[in-house]
Amino acid sequence: MGKIMNVTSVKRIHQSDWQKVGIPFYRARDVVAISKGQKISEPIYISENKYKEFSEISGKVKINDLLVTGVGTIGVPLLVQKTPLYFKDGNIIWFQNNNQFNGIFLYNAFLTRSIQNFIKTTTGVGTVPTYTIITGKETPISFPKPKEQDRIATLLKTAENLITLQQRKLEQLKQLKKAMLQQLFVNKNNKQPILKFKNFRNNWREYKLSEIVNLEDNKRKPVKATERIRGKIPYYGANGIQDYVKGYTHIGKHVLIAEDGANSVDDYPIYFIYSPSWINNHTHVLTAKEEILSSEFLAYALKKINYAKYLVGSGRYKLNAEILKLIPLKIPTMNEQKYIESNLSKIDKLIILQQNKLTQLTTLKRYLLQKLFI
């Protein structure tokens, strides 16, 4: 790359120059967030005067330039499509395209296995791997003539647009489900939900979780990855399926809720399972008392709870069994439970359908990257 274009960085901006408004200032983690279609958490800006001062020294980032993360999650590319912007030196490598490549072609070239493998193999030396200006210049790239670049870029852009559209559909369904969970379940101050179905007018009754479920943690059994025997039975940890093995620890309907190692406190890991399963010791196993509570309804109801106040420890939080048993939960009659779970289940099926379509489109794009690039 260094023989084709200038590979560089920018003059350092100090933290004291950061602002809450102004010219966008990107760090490596911001580039990663954008690549995942996520909003930047705690965005940072610099003043227009500071931008002009430093850009006179380093130059201005232009449309179709490429920024690539050099620390943290290394090798994540960002095609510049909007300016002005500035970025953190040392965090990000700047490939000054100057329209030598079709920007979309260049961006996708950095997603290919050949360049990603080069980045991984050349940044693995040292305590903290980094993708530097030197390795950026040494990054190999194969490319066709401009017209072929344009055709490849058009095809990949079409695939990317389809993926983006599918992601929006999926996100809309997830937001619909979130809204329904808010409307169909009671909060701590009410005895009936905001959204009530016809013929259901009874007040919801509050129980301690221990009154309406049985805890089956005693059957759990952790197995090291190297000691698992491959099979078709799902092996569950705190955040869902980790592997597939022979044998099982539990059978029937259960609800799993992370004991420790949850990957999110805000979206706490909870899973309804209905099959033979092997469950390790990082997730609690709940079995609903079926005369009063549906397991499917239980899984939906538990997603409504804010678990932050029930967790102990720091860093790796833990939801102790004794605390779990005391969590209050309001439930309606069994008929109303079944009606609510039926409606939410329909949305879940649509979410799975859209997720599968998104997976297919993502797989298609990966296939195109393999076939269209050398």
Average pLDDT over residues 284-305: 95
CA distance 61 to 182: 44
Summarised one tens digit per residue, pLDDT across range 236-247 is 999 999 999 999
Please report which helix (H) or strand (E) contains residue 236, including its range: strand 230-237
- Asked if the domains at 7-143 and 205-331 fall in one CATH topology, the answer is yes
Summarised one tens digit per residue, pLDDT across range 129-183 is 899 999 999 999 999 999 999 999 999 999 999 999 999 999 999 999 999 988 8
pLDDT value, residue 126: 57
CA distance 290 to 278: 22
pLDDT at 327 over 70: yes
pLDDT value, residue 309: 92
pLDDT at 125 over 60: no
pLDDT value, residue 199: 81
More confident residue, 121 or 190: 121
Q: Could you give the 3-state DSSP secondary structure of residue 301?
A: helix
pLDDT value, residue 313: 84
The domain covering 7-143 belongs, at the CATH homologous superfamily level, to: DNA methylase specificity domains (3.90.220.20)
First and final C-alpha spacing in the chain: 15
How much of the chain, in percent, has pLDDT values that exceed 70? Answer: 99
Quickly state the pLDDT bin for 300 (edges 50, 70, 90): very high
pLDDT at 194 over 60: yes
**The pair of three-digit structure tokens given for residue 15, joined into one six-digit string:** 């933290």
Q: Which of 283, 285, 284, 301 is nearest to 207 (CA)?
A: 301
**Residues, the chain:** 374
How much of the chain, in percent, has pLDDT values that exceed 90? Answer: 87
| Parallel, antiparallel or unpaired: strands 77-79 and 6-8 | unpaired
Q: Could you give the 3-state DSSP secondary structure of residue 249?
A: coil
Residue tagged 């479920």 (tokens): 213
3-state per-residue secondary structure call for 16-64: HHCECCCEEEECHHHHHHHHCCCCCCCCEEECHHHHHHHHHHHCCCCCC
Summarised one tens digit per residue, pLDDT across range 214-234 is 999 999 999 999 999 999 999
The domain covering 205-331 belongs, at the CATH homologous superfamily level, to: DNA methylase specificity domains (3.90.220.20)
Quickly state the pLDDT bin for 124 (edges 50, 70, 90): low
pLDDT value, residue 127: 62
Chain mean pLDDT for the chain:
93
pLDDT value, residue 187: 79
Summarised one tens digit per residue, pLDDT across range 25-69 is 999 999 999 998 889 989 999 999 999 999 999 999 999 999 999
The vertex-79 CA angle with 74 and 59, nearest 5°, equals 95
Enumerate residues 6+ apart whose C-beta is below 8 A from 368.
Answer: 155, 156, 159
Between 85-99, 131-145, 182-196, the lowest mean confidence (pLDDT) is in: 182-196
Between 102-106, 112-116, 179-183, 319-323, the lowest mean confidence (pLDDT) is in: 179-183
pLDDT value, residue 246: 96
Q: Where are the domains of the chain?
A: 7-143, 205-331
